[in-house]
Structure 1
Amino acid sequence: MSTHPSPQQQPPHGFGPPMYLPPPPPPAVEGPPPQMLGNQGARLAARFLDGVFMLLAWLLVAGVVTVLQNVLEAPERVEVLIGFVGYGLLGLALLCYEPVMIWERGATLGKRICGLRVARVGDGEDLSFGRAWLRWFTSFLMGFVPFLGLLDGLWCLWDKPFQQCLHDKAADSVVLTTKLAGE
């Protein structure tokens, strides 16, 4: 008796020439539809506006500190204390500005003006404070590494499917438009 099947016999299950199976479909990606994604021009404009607001805050505090130091005829150590407190509070405010605004309002002032908001990728809900802080802190840290800060900001130009920057990927966030086409 032969162990090879004849042409009329089928080989036992699991043996024989391999059959071509089509690749499995890609997994369903949960996230916003493409028309809800914030465009890169609006994102850049929002970042610019936020930078202008931070600069104005710095100039305001610098002006107030300078006036207080010059108007008060106080010893030099009081002038130093005024500068330390003023610039310390400003630094704290600038460090908290983006994560707190995104956590509380879903967007910074610049993003709101440009019709953008930051949300979680999977369900579009607002970010928790932890995610908002992680998003900001990741971007902040990347700014200290040569070219990585620039790469972070440009990443959304080629990222698919959600046009995320690297700091968005770290926090599992996405930038959405609040105004759909035709509105």
Structure 2
Amino acid sequence: MQPPIHSSAGEEPRVPETDPYAGYRIVTVGPGREAPPPPAPQEPAAKTSISSAAPEPWEQPAPDPRHASAPPTSPAQPAAEHQAPPRPQYLPAPPVAPSPYAAPPAPPQYGAPQPPYGAPQPWRGHVLHVPEQWDPRNPTVGLADSGQRFLARFFDFMMTGLLWFLLMMVATGISIAIGGGELEGPAETFFMCAAVFNFFLFPVVWEWFQVSVWRRSLGKIILGLWVVRADGGGKVSAGRALLRALCFAPGHTNLVNLVLPWSLTNVLWHLRDKERRQCLHDKAAGTVVVKTVR
């Protein structure tokens, strides 16, 4: 423990705030004198009874929450029933004043307007993989060239002549079987009807069947060519295929082919048409010939 701080004569002694002897009497000691003994400690005063003096507020023990209970209600004043708070009243939102500033102008569009998303786009490739890819907006892509068309027609003439010969052989055999070895009576009638069909109708019917069902002839199948609609690359209808066959059908017995000015002009017309390479029978039926690559 630190001793008390003594001051010189005539000055009041100073006691630091942290002096452990705070509250004791400080005696000034001069030279040659001894400090008096410290005073004897006083006995504490007798404690007052609880009934005589009320305890201070800070001395009262805190209530135990385990034994806390609701205060008893007076019988004269029963507890008021619980009432819901009043519903708040909301004021309507004030009207929004129009903006004094004008709407910003639309940004300018540069270049040509773009087509909307999802619109069909023309085929941009250099070849066609399926005939439906041919687009009239880009007609030069996928068109069959002149050499391919001439070669396909050569195969068609050869196969049509072969089929015509086989049909005539079958008709002759049936006629002989009907007449018992003689072409008389019903046998002769059947043979004449078969000959007229083979000479005049077979080339047209055969060409119509190939284009309407297979969408191409046997010669075009060999070279990978297709006959499609000129307005969208779809399948050619039966009516268009019949009109196309009436204007031109390969076969040495077809009467249309015997008219040389028409037949030659019809076949060679696609050399003049640089955009779609259509012959006259293609223009009449609204068709084009395209080539696909697998």
Using structure 1 for the length normalisation, give the TM-score: 0.71
1:136 to 230, 241, 245: 245
Partner of 1:111: 220
- 1:138–1:85 distance in 2 versus 1, CA, 3 Å: closer
Partner of 1:78: 186
Considering only aligned residues, what root-mean-square deviation do their CA atoms show, in Å?
A: 2.5
Which runs of 4 or more aligned residues in structure 1 lie more than 6 Å from their structure 2 counterparts after TM superposition?
A: none
Trace 1:47-86 onto structure 2 (pairs within 5 A). 47-70=153-176, 72-74=180-182, 76-86=184-194
- 1:32–1:124 distance in 2 versus 1, CA, 3 Å: farther
2:143 to 18, 23, 37: 37
Alpha carbons 1:121, 1:172 under 8 Å: kept: yes
1:147 to 257, 261, 266: 261
Using structure 2 for the length normalisation, give the TM-score: 0.46
Q: How high is the sequence identity, in percent, across the aligned residues?
A: 33
Query: Larger RCO: Structure 1 or Structure 2 (Cα < 8 Å, ≥ 6 residues apart)?
Result: 1
Alpha carbons 2:243, 2:285 under 8 Å: kept: yes
Partner of 1:160: 274
For residues 75-101 of structure 1, the C-alpha deviation after alignment (integer angstroms, 9 at most, x for no partner) is: 612331231243345354432111221
1:87 to 180, 183, 195: 195
- 1:174–1:51 distance in 2 versus 1, CA, 3 Å: same
The Cα shift of 1:148 comes to 2.0
SS in 2 for 1:119: strand
Unaligned runs of 5+ in 1: 1-28
Unaligned runs of 5+ in 2: 1-134, 250-254
SS in 1 for 2:231: coil
For residues 130-173 of structure 1, the C-alpha deviation after alignment (integer angstroms, 9 at most, x for no partner) is: 11111221236864544121011011112120011111111111
Alpha carbons 1:31, 1:123 under 8 Å: kept: no
| 2:192 partner amino acid | F
